[in-house]
Amino acid sequence: MDNPNPKPIKRIGVLTSGGDAPGMNAAVRAVVRTALKQGIECVGIRRGWSGLINTDFMRLDNSSVSHIMNKGGTILYTARCMEFMTREGREKAIATCKMLGLDGIVAIGGDGTFRGALALTRQIAESGYYLPVVGIPATIDNDIGCSNYTIGFDTAANTAIECIDKLRDTMQSHERCSVVEVMGRHAGFLALYVGISVGATAVLIPEREVDFEQDVVEKIRRARLGGTTHFMVVVAEGAGSAVEIGKQIHEAIGIDPRVTVLGHIQRGGAPTGRDRETASRMGYEAVQALLSGKGNRIIGTKAGALTDMDMEEALAMEKKLEMYRYEVLEALTPGI
């Protein structure tokens, strides 16, 4: 839905919502700096959509976004807000938008955040008020259909790889089996990327049904027969519990795996260059989209370039894991 009656954009809101992702700050900075250069005021909405409900905001100027590029997390805080899922909750949010005089919003987050944006703009349109929202995909899960890449993935992957490299040093010395659970919610993008990068013996992902005997036990056996004495099994959180997988390995072949759940450590830390640079470009593009009268768009990447797509269309897209990556993993797994 593009702006039916374009009027100059004078003041915009920016928020971060859903799970935090390294690089969100770089996106906030890019939105604010791009907007200010165009003479647009910026209001930071704190704690995601709940900030609109609770009128929780801060003025943002050039100095508010200085020295945040290198920081993980988000200076605007983030939240999951059940009240925003209700009409009554969104009515309060709409009142805040009107009170602040917002001409547009940039929402940085995952698909839930964008579903919220769509619900808000539809409801606001019923009162004859037009409020465009542009989304920037930021989630370590990389599970947004309309974008090849989401901010935070690279940092989270590198954090997991660094942790697993450290684990490997001790596993190698003690000739042990390690089972490591990585994040990714319902998707295996992170686990497979990390698994390939650490040379895992086996990787379990939700997109592929697990045949425990073939996919885990036999791979460990073959690695052992090929001369390997330590094994690394990477489990996507959406594919099951690493603790359970560890128990099953013990029952099947008698070895005693050490289980590590990396958890929220993967969300922290200074964003990588890739996340900072992508976030900066996406933040810039989001403001350009608002200025050009576009409404309800999600910025994305395709073949390295930035795109923007209608929010409703974008949310209907499903992102499929490229299974050839699994074939690569299998081809490189040690064995006889």
Interface residue list for ligand ATP (CB under 6 A) = 17-19, 48-49, 80-81, 84-85, 109-113, 115-116, 119, 139, 141
| Least CB distance to ligand ATP at residue 165 (A) | 25
Q: Of 135 and 246, which has the nearer Cβ to ligand ATP?
A: 135
Q: Of 69 and 138, which has the nearer Cβ to ligand ATP?
A: 138
| Least CB distance to ligand ATP at residue 61 (A) | 27
Q: Report the 3 state secondary structure along the chain.
A: CCCCCCCCCCEEEEEECCCCCCCHHHHHHHHHHHHHHCCCEEEEECCCHHHHHCCCEEEECCHHHCCCCCCCCCCCCCCCCHHHHCHHHHHHHHHHHHHHCCCEEEEEECHHHHHHHHHHHHHHHHCCCCCCEEEEEECCCCCCCCCCCCECHHHHHHHHHHHHHHHHHHHHHHCCEEEEEECCCCCCHHHHHHHHHHCCCEEECCCCCCCHHHHHHHHHHHHHHCCCCCEEEEEEHHHCCHHHHHHHHHHHHCCCCEEEECHHHHHCCCCCHHHHHHHHHHHHHHHHHHHCCCCCEEEEEECCEEEEEEHHHHHHCCCCCCCHHHHHHHHHCCCC
| Least CB distance to ligand ATP at residue 129 (A) | 18
| Least CB distance to ligand ATP at residue 214 (A) | 31
Find out whether 179 and 233 touch, Cβ atoms under 8 Å: yes
| Least CB distance to ligand ATP at residue 307 (A) | 19
Catalytic residues: 141
Q: Of 35 and 107, which has the nearer Cβ to ligand ATP?
A: 107
Q: Of 81 and 163, which has the nearer Cβ to ligand ATP?
A: 81
| Least CB distance to ligand ATP at residue 18 (A) | 2
Q: Of 116 and 271, which has the nearer Cβ to ligand ATP?
A: 116
Q: Of 49 and 284, which has the nearer Cβ to ligand ATP?
A: 49
